[in-house]
Structure 1
Amino acid sequence: MIKNLLANVGEYKKESLITPLFVTGEVVLDIVIPLLMAMMIDKGIETKNISEILKYGGLLFVCALIALYLGAMSGRYAAIASAGFARNLRNRLFNQVQDFSFSNIDRFSTSSLITRMTTDVTNVQNAYQMVIRILVRSPLIFIFSLAMAFTINKDLSLIYLAVIPFLLVGLALVIYFAHPKFEMVFRIYDKLNNVVQENLQGIRVVKSYVREDHEKEKFQKVSKEIYQNFSVAQSIVAFNNPILQTAVYTCMLLISWLGAKFVVGSTLTTGELVSMFTYTMQILMSLNMLSMVFVMVLIARTSAERITEVLDETSDIKNPANPLFEVTDGSINFKDVTFSYANDENKLALGKTNLSIRAGEVIGIVGGTGSSKSTLVQLIPRLYDATQGTVEIAGHNVKEYDLETLRDQVSMVLQKNVLFTGTIKENLRWGNEDATDEDLIRVCKIAQADSFIQEFPDKYDTLISQGGNNVSGGQKQRLCIARALLKKPKILILDDSTSAVDTKTDRLIREGMRQEIPGTTTFVIGQRISSIEDSDRIIVMDNGAVNAVGTHDELLKTNQIYQEVYDSQVKGFGEDNV
């Protein structure tokens, strides 16, 4: 895990290595300063020698200035190294998620991935900064101060050997009991982010159903869980301070009591006793800083494990060794294809399927909710891979194609499409970044989007808010259809993508697409018979399997499911709504 994380230090190795060097220099001066103080007291103040006082006082001033400079530089380089490390780590996490298949993403919730890229990375960043600075400084201070204390007086220094084990055992117990609580806190953070994200995305639904109180209660419940668990964890960590204070004051009292006797007995000078007090504080404060680092590392350990889970996740869908970089046509064959979201043959979402679709055909797909209509078409661009069997495009298994090439030739327009923050032009150019303004207008006219765009004050430069919340559902769908048309793909999949537009607009869109991309194989998933009745063939899905394939007229004569859907729409809504 540590090796995996440290690989992200990258170009900030120099700053990471320079920081301990500055820290070491600062520590050396911190050790020298008490010695100079002792000499100034013994050779200057005790003997009332002004020249010695000035000499050692000047040395102390110079050492203090240099130590201040080294401390500032170590802080600066530690901040640069840790911020750069966090940037690289966050970029790697984001890039890793971009390569995930849908099944990989299904293993992590969206809110969890957000927490890992924000809160968890920040925790690891803070820990890294403390490790390359404080974790270097504290052991050096401890070792050098202890060595100097033994040099001054071995008998007094034995006090440390009695107190330090007590401090270390207390720290170990704090870490042992606090770690599980911090793990729990971060799992609940995921829940909190999920509640917030869900509420903000569905704020219109919340308000329309007057469910603000319910959402507040749900948020407060999760927030209370965090408070309770974090309070317990911090309460355990809080024991660190009284343990440290007990050790510090015990050492001070014992050194004061025994040191006074040694001074009276002339085996210890006054200056040496003062330096012993200084070294005592340095030894125990170094242990205190170590405990702070350990607490931070304790918190970061949980975050590091969560980050490593994402970094170690291997995408289920990969490029082949020698991929094909050209999709010659849009013909598609399903050969004994089955699919399971759980990768379990006993839990199939799509039963054994065999289909042969010619290039340029318009294929309608109809079926009840949960009949695996979307599952079927998601196997074509390898959003998921078939559990068994093969999906072929232009006579080649889809697994033989370069992923980018394959997906560039398969456009999907979903019922719940996403528009990104930016202008309408910027959103449309996701389909073709080199498209001219004339191209944009042409496809928008085909998608019946140009008319409402022209009504906006800024027209095609109108800014789309996050998630496209400042346009209606029908407008969003039409913009997404226009975006897909810009690609001029070999295969176009419309997954119930005109559900929010009226039947007349739906018909105009379909007519425009036939003229714009006549050689494109098109799949139209629809709930309305009117959306698919003019398809070359229609696939009827039922309970995760292909129930029938045929034209509109053929299915009306031979297929009961299609007849029922048609009759319910004709009789329930009238011919104008079919």
Structure 2
Amino acid sequence: MIKLLKGLKSYLGIIVVIFILVFLQSLSDVYLPNLMSDIVDKGVVNKDTNYIINTGFKMILVTFLGGVVTVSASYFSSKVAMGFGRDLRNKVFERVENFSLHEFNQIGTASLITRTTNDITQIQQVVMIMLRMMLYAPMVAIGATIMAVRKDAKLSLIILVAMPILIISIGLILKRAVPLFKSMQKKVDNLNRVLRENLIGVRVIRVFNKVDLERKRFKNASLDLCEVATKANQTITLLMPLMMLIVNISIISVVWFGGIRIDNGEMQVGDLMAFIQYLSQIMFALMMLSMMFVMIPRASASATRINEILDIEKTLSDKENAIKDTDKKGFVEFKNVSFSYEKDTEKVLNNISFVSKPGEVTAIIGGTGSGKSTLVKLIPRFFDATEGEVLVDGVNVKDLEQHALRSKIGYVPQKAILFSGTIFENLKYGKENATEEEVKKAIEIAQAKEFVDNMQDKENSFIAQGGTNVSGGQKQRLSIARAIVKKPEIYIFDDSFSALDFKTDAALRASLLKETKDSTVILVAQRVSTVMDATRIIVLDDGCVAGIGTHDELLKTCDIYNEIVSSQLSKEEM
């Protein structure tokens, strides 16, 4: 928590102003009972109406000024807390944006969302309360204690007895509540994960008639959170009645013993009234501190989770003198590359070597789980090779600046991703200054012109989040068009034609061949018809290269390729 609070340094000037305002507020609150005591002892007892009126106006003035500083302190506290939360959220988001896929898998998407929203909100709330209460409550407690002792030192012994009892009671309740609040955050993570899976997989859930099962899963996750939250809140609920009991017993004691002292002429009525108010102020100051201590552990748990994100050692980062530009353009080379997702686990790729140059199409084919998608993800450096080197333009990708490396690449992922916005905005994603003509040409090359023209606003038609208002094939074609607009040196198509019919697939590849004649194309596919015209075909089997060559060469030399081809094509087509 302290580590994160260092981010408040940029708000130091406003925090000083808040502390001054809070100091003035506490002075006004402590001063008011003294004025009321004077009204009773000097005004009412002596029947001095002018003194009552004058002192009454003083009380109104002090109350008004106290109100002004209270509102001002609240305003500035909110401003600092919200600004701090915004800065922290931006910091976390920027950090997450630089994560490799390994870090994403390590924490989990649901947990990242919870930490960026719920956890930071918890910290925001505590920062605001701390700015208001951390100085105010102790000052009021100390100031009220001093004033109470000044009014009657012997009667103040009641405060000295009540305060330790109150503090011990608060400590016992917090000891039980804090672990429950920490557990709540994990339960929120789990609920978020179940909800996210339901929303993303709603079609699959319905088609397999698993709606009732998913409702049960969500209900269980919700009940799990509800049970922990109920226990935590029930524990904290004990705090208020317990404190009120101690306060009221203390007040009764003050009235009892104060009455005796008044009867003996050792104390005045106004002083007793002021003493009761000071006692109430002390007790409520401790109550406010206790509520702050309730929230701090929750925020502390949230801060720990935020620090976990900020402290994760990035597996992918730019070197100090990372190369920003290269002499060659569009060359890709794998030198004895091996890869595994975790240390000491089985290799997903093993000793892969090949070269791909501008004007060439390198196709990668193989069975499910053979490592095709993993191989192409090493080129834009989504992962780093465990062994060997991945070279782009003759430079190891680890030595290239990530921004410079990825600016060379047009990547179309296996699962087509579109963002909420217009088609035009989506296609300009890789090239912000793209013209309308460039976008239209890319749509035409990607064989998307027909369905785009049939949409109400054509290129300005709205795409829903995740592209849910277009079909799978349409999403793939728009994703391909987005890569074409960028005009990169290297095109990577990761099984990006799977949702297309054979006719569209053939037409798209024919038009792509003209557009990408000066670029390097690396193509992952399941269909033989998609790869058979490639400059070279790499056949992967269980992470190893089973064969490299043209379609005709592999038919003669590679048994695995023959099996794939014979399962898809007739002898005449072969």
Does residue 12 of structure 2 align to residue 6 of structure 1? no
Q: Residue 242 of structure 1 corresponds to which residue in structure 2? A: 241
Residue 575 (structure 1) shift: 7.2
Residue 354 (structure 1) shift: 2.4
Counterparts of 1:460-471 in structure 2, within 5 Å, are 460-471=459-470
Q: Residue 433 of structure 1 corresponds to which residue in structure 2? A: 432
Does residue 500 of structure 2 align to residue 501 of structure 1? yes
Does residue 188 of structure 2 align to residue 189 of structure 1? yes
Q: Distance in 2 between matches of 1:110 and 1:146?
A: 51
Which one-letter code corresponds to 2:462 in the other structure?
Answer: L
Gaps of 5+ in 2: none
Q: Residue 295 of structure 1 corresponds to which residue in structure 2? A: 294
Q: Residue 212 of structure 2 corresponds to which residue in structure 1? A: 213
Of the structure 1 ranges 121-130 and 15-24, higher mean CA displacement relative to structure 2 is found in: 15-24
Which one-letter code corresponds to 1:43 in the other structure?
Answer: K
Change (3 A) 1:575 1:309: farther
Which one-letter code corresponds to 2:86 in the other structure?
Answer: R
Deviations 1:287-323 (A, max 9, x none): 1111111112122111111112112223211112122
Deviations 1:428-467 (A, max 9, x none): 0012111111111111111101111001010000000111
Is the partner of 1:527 in helix, strand or coil?
A: coil
Counterparts of 1:418-497 in structure 2, within 5 Å, are 418-497=417-496
Is the partner of 2:154 in helix, strand or coil?
A: helix
Which one-letter code corresponds to 2:220 in the other structure?
Answer: K
Q: Residue 409 of structure 2 corresponds to which residue in structure 1? A: 410
Q: Is the 8 A contact 1:10 1:88 kept in 2?
A: no
Deviations 1:91-127 (A, max 9, x none): 1111111111111211111111111111111111111
Deviations 1:188-231 (A, max 9, x none): 21111112122112222223333222221111110000001111
Q: Residue 510 of structure 1 corresponds to which residue in structure 2? A: 509
Does residue 172 of structure 2 align to residue 179 of structure 1? no
Q: Distance in 1 between matches of 2:268 and 2:17?
A: 39
Q: Is the 8 A contact 1:23 1:133 kept in 2?
A: yes
Q: Residue 44 of structure 1 corresponds to which residue in structure 2? A: 43
Q: Residue 123 of structure 1 corresponds to which residue in structure 2? A: 122
Q: Is the 8 A contact 2:4 2:303 kept in 1?
A: no
Of the structure 1 ranges 540-549 and 325-334, higher mean CA displacement relative to structure 2 is found in: 325-334
Does residue 338 of structure 2 align to residue 338 of structure 1? yes
Q: Residue 380 of structure 2 corresponds to which residue in structure 1? A: 381
Q: Distance in 2 between matches of 1:264 and 1:374?
A: 91
TM-score (structure 1 length as normaliser):
0.96
Question: Share of identical aligned residues, percent?
Answer: 37
Does residue 565 of structure 2 align to residue 556 of structure 1? no
Residue 535 (structure 1) shift: 0.6
Is the partner of 2:365 in helix, strand or coil?
A: strand
Q: Distance in 2 between matches of 1:6 and 1:14?
A: 14
Deviations 1:473-516 (A, max 9, x none): 00000000010011111111111101000111111111111111
Does residue 346 of structure 2 align to residue 350 of structure 1? no
Residue 16 (structure 1) shift: 2.7
Is the partner of 2:398 in helix, strand or coil?
A: helix
Q: Distance in 1 between matches of 2:98 and 2:137?
A: 41
Q: Is the 8 A contact 1:331 1:360 kept in 2?
A: no
Residue 174 (structure 1) shift: 1.9
Counterparts of 1:69-80 in structure 2, within 5 Å, are 69-80=68-79
Q: Residue 329 of structure 1 corresponds to which residue in structure 2? A: 329
Residue 11 (structure 1) shift: 4.8
Of the structure 1 ranges 16-25 and 121-130, higher mean CA displacement relative to structure 2 is found in: 16-25
Q: Residue 538 of structure 2 corresponds to which residue in structure 1? A: 539
TM-score (structure 2 length as normaliser):
0.97
Runs of 4+ in 1 over 6 A off after TM superposition: none
Q: Distance in 2 between matches of 1:69 and 1:24?
A: 13
Residue 374 (structure 1) shift: 0.8
Which one-letter code corresponds to 2:277 in the other structure?
Answer: T
Q: Residue 223 of structure 2 corresponds to which residue in structure 1? A: 224
Count of residue pairs brought into register by the alignment: 573
Q: Is the 8 A contact 2:363 2:524 kept in 1?
A: yes
Q: Is the 8 A contact 1:42 1:271 kept in 2?
A: yes
Residue 5 (structure 1) shift: 3.7
Q: Residue 56 of structure 1 corresponds to which residue in structure 2? A: 55
Gaps of 5+ in 1: none
Q: Distance in 2 between matches of 1:175 and 1:311?
A: 28
Change (3 A) 1:51 1:393: same
Deviations 1:525-550 (A, max 9, x none): 11110010111111111112222111
Q: Residue 109 of structure 1 corresponds to which residue in structure 2? A: 108
RMSD in angstroms over aligned alpha carbons? 1.6
Is the partner of 2:289 in helix, strand or coil?
A: helix
